[in-house]
Homo-oligomer: A and B are copies of this chain.
Amino acid sequence: MVVSTARALYADTDQMGIVNHAVALRWFEQARAEWLRRLGHSYLQMESEGMLLPVYELQVRYHKPARYDEVVLLDAVLQKAGPVRVIFDYKILHSETKELLISGSTLHAVVGRNGRPRRLTEPMMALLTRGQQSDAESP
């Protein structure tokens, strides 16, 4: 489900004349934040409720280069919803051609403010499950 867009900055490029591969991680972060915001919640609120989601694993595949000033579509779906880990899958698409530029996933552990593992709260689990259903229903 496309949840947001981004435009490649000059600072995002490298001397190969394309967007540096590390920028994918910024776009993934923006995508999962907007995925959550669409449900009326935010990662900021999750942190204030004592649930942090550090990245434990990630993988990225680069299909075609993104270029300076291009607008990309940020597509995120929740592959796995808690209670102690969360996995998001991403697709970054060219906004005009709809070509797939980048795909990937991030696995997050759920930890408390002290950095120790914890479980998502029931309301948070319910919210994520609702988000997953919404993913499934979207075209």
Contacts and interface: CB of A to CB of B under 8 A. Distances in A.
Contacts of A22: 11, 22, 25-26
Contacts of A16: 10, 15, 52, 54
Given A58-B60, A60-B58, A25 B21 contact: yes
Contacts of A68: 15, 44
Given A57-B59, A60-B57, A14 B10 contact: yes
* Max count, chain B CB within 10 A of own CB: residue among A13, A18, A58: A58
Given A21-B55, A58-B21, A26 B14 contact: no
Interface in A50-67: 52, 54-62, 65
A11 B11 contact: no
B33 A11 contact: no
Interface in A1-40: 7, 9-11, 13-18, 20-22, 25-26, 29-30, 33
Given A18-B54, A56-B61, A58-B59, 14 more contacts: A9-B26, A9-B29, A10-B29, A10-B33, A10-B43, A11-B14, A13-B15, A16-B52, A22-B22, A22-B25, A33-B69, A54-B65, A57-B61, A59-B60
The 3 closest A-B CB pairs, nearest first, are A13-B15, A59-B59, A21-B55
